Amino acid sequence: MKMPQISEETKDKLPVYLFVFALVFSAFSYGIVAGIWNLPPAYQVWKLYENVRDLQRYWKNDFGLEANRHLVPMREGHEARFRIFGEGAYEGRLLMVSGLTPEREALNSVLLLDAKGEEVHAWPVNYSEIDPEGPGPENVFLHGLDVFEDGSIVVNFDSGRVLARLNSCGKVMWKTEGNFHHAVTRSFDGTLWTLRDDKLVQVDAESGTILKEAGMMVDVLKKHNLQGVLAIQSEEGPAGLRMSPDPFHLNHIEALAPEMAGAFPVFEAGDLLISMRSLNMVAVLDPDTFNIKWFSIGPWHRQHEPHFAPDGTISVYNNNMGFEHSQIVTIDPATMETQVVFEGTDDVPFYSWRRGKHQLFGNGDQLIVEAEHGRAFMVSKEGAPLWEYNNRYDETRNGVLNKAVLLPDGFFAVGALKTCTPQPE
C-alpha cells in the first residue's frame, strides 16, 4: 500500500505544527500537575470559574431585581411566619431578629416581636444611607448585631465596609470604616469586640474609636510561635509555606464576664473566646498578650458562635458542613468532655451548612437559628419544639436569618423605642 505523500508546503509548516502541539501538550500536562499540586494558575482559574457561576446564579441580585443572594428554601411544612407550640413558650421576653424586609423602606431590618409574634418595634438598616459610596444593599449581608438598652444597635456587614451604631430609628450615630464582619459583641466593660479582616478588634461603643487590635498572623501565630497549632492550612512551596486564602475564617468573638469567671477556673474575666471556622477550632485568648490559653479542634466541623455558659462549659454551634445535620455541642474546657445537647429530628429538623446562632437558658431551653433555611426556633431541654419563626420572603423562600435573641421584657429603658416617622424629602 502506498504511503500518502506529504506536500512540500506541509513539510515546511511541520516544525510549526510540532511546536504548537508541544505547547498544547505542555499546557495540558501542566494543567493536570497544577490541579493536583495547587500550583499557579490553578487557584486563579478556579476563581474565574466560580465568578462565572456566581454571575449565572445571582444576576437578578446584581441588577437590583431580587435579593436572591440571601434567599433560601423554606422547609416544607414550616410555611407559617410564627408558630407557638405550647403555652408560656417565652412569655415575658422579646424576640429580636434580623433579616430581609423587601416590603419596607430598607431591604434589611431588625425586628422586635412580642410573645405572640406581634411586632413591637423595627429598626431599618439601610446600607445605602450608612455607606452611600459602598456596594448596594443587595450585595452586603447584615451579620454582626448587638443591641443597647437605649434602643440603639451596632451592626456590621459581610462584604460591607463599615461598623456602625444606629439609633432606634436606624439613623447613624457613628460609623468606623473597615472590612468588619461576622460578629460584634458587647463586653462587660461597655466596649465592643468585633472582627476586621483577620484581626480581633476592641472598639469604644460611644464613639466607634478603635481601642485595640491584634492580627491573627502577626500578633497571635508568629508572636507566640503557634505555627504548629494554627498553620495547618498551609502548603509547602519554593518560598516556604503558602497559606490558604482564608486560613482562619474568624466568625465569632466574646469576652468572659466577671460574674461567670468563677465557673471557669482555667480562665480569667476578660479572656476572649473566638471561633476559627477554617481550622474547626475554638480557642480562648489572653486579651492583653493575645496568646492562646486553651483550644479545641473539633469535634465540631465548620462551627459558629461559641459561648461561655454559666455551668462552666462552652457551647458551640456545630454546623457540621456537608454532613446533613447540625448540632449544639458543649465542651468542658477543664476535662475536654463533650456532649451533644441538641441535634435535629424529624419533628424538629436542624441543618445549616453555614452561619447560625444559638442561645442557651438556665432551664435547658435553647434558641437556635437555622440560618440557611431562614428559620429560628426554640426547643425545651428534652428537644420538644416551643415556637418557631420564619423570615418569609415569598410562598416558598425565606430570607437568610442571621440573628435571633430573646431579651427580657424590661431590657429597654423607658421611652427608648420611640416611634420613628419618615423624614420629608
pLDDT band at 38 (very low <50, low <70, confident <90, very high): low
The residues that bridge with 35 in the sheet, in sequence order, are: none
Domain ranges of the chain: 18-59, 66-408
pLDDT band at 423 (very low <50, low <70, confident <90, very high): very low
Cβ contact 191:205 at 8 Å: yes
Percentage of the chain beyond pLDDT 70 is 85
Q: Of the given ranges (32-36, 147-151, 239-243), which has the lowest mean pLDDT?
A: 32-36
Q: What is the pLDDT of residue 10?
A: 56
* Higher per-residue confidence, 53 vs 143: 143
Q: What is the pLDDT of residue 350?
A: 97
Nearest-5° angle of CA 367, CA 370, CA 374? 115
The residues that bridge with 241 in the sheet, in sequence order, are: 236
The x, y and z cell numbers of residue 126, run together, are 439601610
CB-based contacts of 344, cutoff 8 Å, min separation 6: 325, 326, 350, 351
Q: What is the pLDDT of residue 232?
A: 73
Q: What is the pLDDT of residue 68?
A: 86
Cβ contact 62:51 at 8 Å: no
* Higher per-residue confidence, 77 vs 51: 77
Rounded Cα gap, residues 264 and 403, in angstroms: 27
pLDDT band at 386 (very low <50, low <70, confident <90, very high): very high
Q: Would you say how long the chain is, in residues?
A: 425
Rounded Cα gap, residues 377 and 357, in angstroms: 11
Q: Of the given ranges (58-62, 119-123, 263-267, 402-406), which has the lowest mean pLDDT?
A: 58-62
Mean pLDDT across the chain: 88
Rounded Cα gap, residues 245 and 375, in angstroms: 31
Q: What is the pLDDT of residue 424?
A: 42
Would you state the CATH architecture of domain 66-408? 7 Propeller (2.130)
